[in-house]
Structure 1
């Protein structure tokens, strides 16, 4: 039973207040765990007070931003939550960033404080006047976290936080390489929390997270788990075998994984040796999730499987309860309750029911703006004839007669060759039918004759015989004239982001560099 009742109709409550309530009613129940540390709700609440009081001591005001660049840990999570108690905005940044990218994000966020660990040490810019660093693991440069914290028992000043107040800034570069700061409000996060009752979050639940805390993918499960009084088990780095060990050992009930992680877990020969019967729900988002992989997860892994489709920017989301709709695994589900999803053409007009179009969405959970980039914000918005605001996804999709959305491809990944629109996902699906293909990505590259032309990058299956040219010939014999590949290359591994998205920009850059 949840100590703080939360339903879709519940009035707004801050994360800090929810954790305070759990600390009062279930002080000894575990809240956060990693490989080295565990915090009860009472300990977490006290540590959040020390963080909030320290930020106030340093003059960091509500609405101002701190940055965190580190691997997931109990300290990281407590710092994030403590900053929220002080009304301070958190910008969680990726340790996989380049030094130039990190510098750009810090400047954009106007962050004067950077909390880091050894994973981010080499990225820290030395030319940013006024930037102060705190080491979360005592191995990075800067003041140690324990020394920085306010003394035990120090109460922070109370802060009034409204639903519209900024909660965090998520930097999403996608495949463009240009960081954009997505400002999310407390109200947007509360919208995520309120739907948690449908997924059986509870004080006796335990969520295992192997995706990073700087990713919105992780946070949409992280915060509901704590809001309902459960425990979050954090992995600093994903390892498929270790993941299964932890899931079995701790009786894990919930998880969020990206498709490539599901793929690696399901491929382990020892998968069936692990007892996973405690699972209630498994979630997935962030990248294309093939119907075949969904079917495999449903067949062999206990508990429900739910795919969320949406963007960090918010707008509309679709939800597929795969265990309830096994005949719809090729889709991303129906629009979530209260979410308005529409399809528009190149001119911004709504398409008819049987047509494909760019997906745009409206909901209570939408970004406020791209931080400091009003032009980018305007580019991401679409308004209907009544002035209702939607967020553009850049995805092209089509609704079926049952209201389920099938994604065709990314609009910006579409290849226009000789005046014909070519969707790389169609070509990739055909290529995956070749027995020697383990993974594949198709991108458009410049062509003097056609404007653009598609080429494929293939990860060959281990032990498979044959050359890249053999697969190219096999594919082109089966493809329509307008969908034939200009070339095909073998590659050891497709470049991916930390949450599993294929970085097609890097593949295009690689091709163009090789053909200069």
Structure 2
């Protein structure tokens, strides 16, 4: 196996593992496991079935289902046929799901009972449906598959071909299809050796397979011949039990999952000594929580900062840089990360005083937003030499050591009385109070100031602090221009399936 070659395919690597170690376990869910030999054979049948149905390289399938062995096999089998995969969220609305399927030009939908409500009853003109779980969601996978032993026609996959179309979570409105090429995914695989992936890797994934957060760890694990344990729905105790049972070495978790795990009363009772690396991405990860993970959970902790669109990554190896936990790390090898001001002018390197929007360039960049050239152009920035960068929409500043501190999403920045207020600064102050278990600050319209900050706080169980007392305490800590107009307790912050706080929903609450 040569993951350092200029370009290769994950589907071919699966075949190599199946040839060398057919009995090694590749995939596990809560119902079954699959060896590399069986996975390779199933991928052949899936690829042959798609070719039988007229699929050609560059065509697309859609998958809307809960994570499972069959889901993973269909994803990998489609790739073997050169067919792109559009993994879609079962939590979408029916109208949004229809638009995404149409936008991806998907010609078949793989689904299961968990998505029945969003998929709805079949209508005339719908694309064929295949049920991954043997339910009534569609034709059974087994009856759709080509016979055992079926071999697909050979496909010479090209780096520029679409690998998958990931639809943005919709936290900023209408989902956009982010086209990632085979070359971009191969770049993710190539960095895998640095993080200890190998045939003895056991990766536990409790985030969904439609999320890029999950896929950036799923594919390197499979590419290096490791085992992926899929947890269809996260709960803290269940996660700890699986991690101990399977002697897990790697995992990807979003910050809110780390928060729930570290707070679980049984956390320290579980043997997690098998862990080598824990990863995190997708949402702000506060420094105190990182420190707690480092103290109580064996193995390295690595935070990735980047976008599904690609364009460069910052990496914080938290176990090696405990003094930089307030940052998201420094640019990864091969990533060119820069800052630009409001007018699109580059902030000079070495300027540690000014913040700007983060833009990035790397080998791992989206081709563009599917069928949305205008949106693609909005997401791009070009330097003086014409080099293409992807705009993140995040505001940050580099320190003297080249580590990036993020302040906030550009769109979440509050401009109050002409002053820029970063909600993350206010959230950090509030987290310093013993009553605060979780918090989010949003800007709301103000006749006097244009915008003004409002806080939503999840109070710790059993704490008796009142909203007014906490508001007064916070405002005593904050600068005059930062002071909160209002503070409300809330049972739980609204979050996407991968842990992003849905600030749009919080702003809507203010108006009620």
TM-score (norm: length of structure 1): 0.97
1:251 to 234, 239, 247: 247
Conserved? CA contact 2:64–2:111, under 8 Å = yes
Q: Measure how far apart 1:432 and its partner are.
A: 1.2
1:109 to 101, 104, 108: 104
Counterparts of 1:377 and 1:397 in 2: how far apart (Å)? 22
Conserved? CA contact 1:121–1:141, under 8 Å = yes
Secondary structure, aligned partner of 1:112: strand
Counterparts of 2:363 and 2:173 in 1: how far apart (Å)? 28
Counterparts of 1:478 and 1:12 in 2: how far apart (Å)? 54
2:25 to 17, 26, 30: 30
Q: Which residue of 1 aligns with 2:88?
A: 93
CA offset digits 1:442-498 (Å, max 9, x no partner): 101111222211111111111111321221122122221211111111110000011
CA offset digits 1:361-397 (Å, max 9, x no partner): 0000000000011111001000000000000001111
Conserved? CA contact 1:307–1:320, under 8 Å = yes
The correspondence of residues 175-186 of structure 1 with structure 2, limited to 5 A, is 175-186=171-182
Secondary structure, aligned partner of 2:470: helix
1:48 to 28, 43, 46: 43
Q: Which residue of 2 aligns with 1:121?
A: 116
CA offset digits 1:82-116 (Å, max 9, x no partner): 00001110000011111111111111111121111
Counterpart check, 1:15 vs 2:14: no
The correspondence of residues 288-437 of structure 1 with structure 2, limited to 5 A, is 288-352=284-348, 353-354=351-352, 355-437=354-436
Q: Measure how far apart 1:127 and its partner are.
A: 4.9
Conserved? CA contact 1:113–1:132, under 8 Å = yes
Counterpart check, 1:496 vs 2:495: yes
Counterpart check, 1:192 vs 2:191: no
Aligned length: 508
The correspondence of residues 127-166 of structure 1 with structure 2, limited to 5 A, is 127=123, 129-166=125-162
Counterparts of 2:432 and 2:288 in 1: how far apart (Å)? 12
Counterparts of 1:26 and 1:271 in 2: how far apart (Å)? 35
Secondary structure, aligned partner of 1:350: coil
Most deviating of 465-474 and 18-27? 465-474
Most deviating of 167-176 and 355-364? 167-176
Gaps of at least 5 residues in structure 1 are none
Conserved? CA contact 1:112–1:130, under 8 Å = no
Conserved? CA contact 2:178–2:308, under 8 Å = yes
TM-score (norm: length of structure 2): 0.98
Tell me: CA distance 1:98–1:307, structure 2 relative to 1, closer, same or farther (3 Å): same
Q: Which residue of 2 aligns with 1:6?
A: 3
Secondary structure, aligned partner of 2:147: coil
Conserved? CA contact 1:121–1:140, under 8 Å = no
Counterparts of 1:465 and 1:255 in 2: how far apart (Å)? 36
Q: Which runs of 4+ in 1 moved over 3 A?
A: 125-128
Counterparts of 1:443 and 1:418 in 2: how far apart (Å)? 16
Q: Measure how far apart 1:425 and its partner are.
A: 0.4
| Aligned residues: CA RMSD | 1.1
Q: Measure how far apart 1:128 and its partner are.
A: 6.7
Counterparts of 1:94 and 1:315 in 2: how far apart (Å)? 24
Counterparts of 1:258 and 1:178 in 2: how far apart (Å)? 23
Most deviating of 263-272 and 88-97? 263-272
CA offset digits 1:387-423 (Å, max 9, x no partner): 0000000111111111111111111100111111110
Q: Which residue of 2 aligns with 1:477?
A: 476
Q: Which residue of 2 aligns with 1:66?
A: 61
CA offset digits 1:20-75 (Å, max 9, x no partner): 11100111100011111111000000000110011111112211111000110000
Secondary structure, aligned partner of 1:42: helix
Q: Measure how far apart 1:162 and its partner are.
A: 0.6
Q: Measure how far apart 1:140 and its partner are.
A: 3.8
Tell me: CA distance 1:64–1:304, structure 2 relative to 1, closer, same or farther (3 Å): same
Secondary structure, aligned partner of 2:294: helix
Counterparts of 1:432 and 1:74 in 2: how far apart (Å)? 39
Secondary structure, aligned partner of 2:454: strand
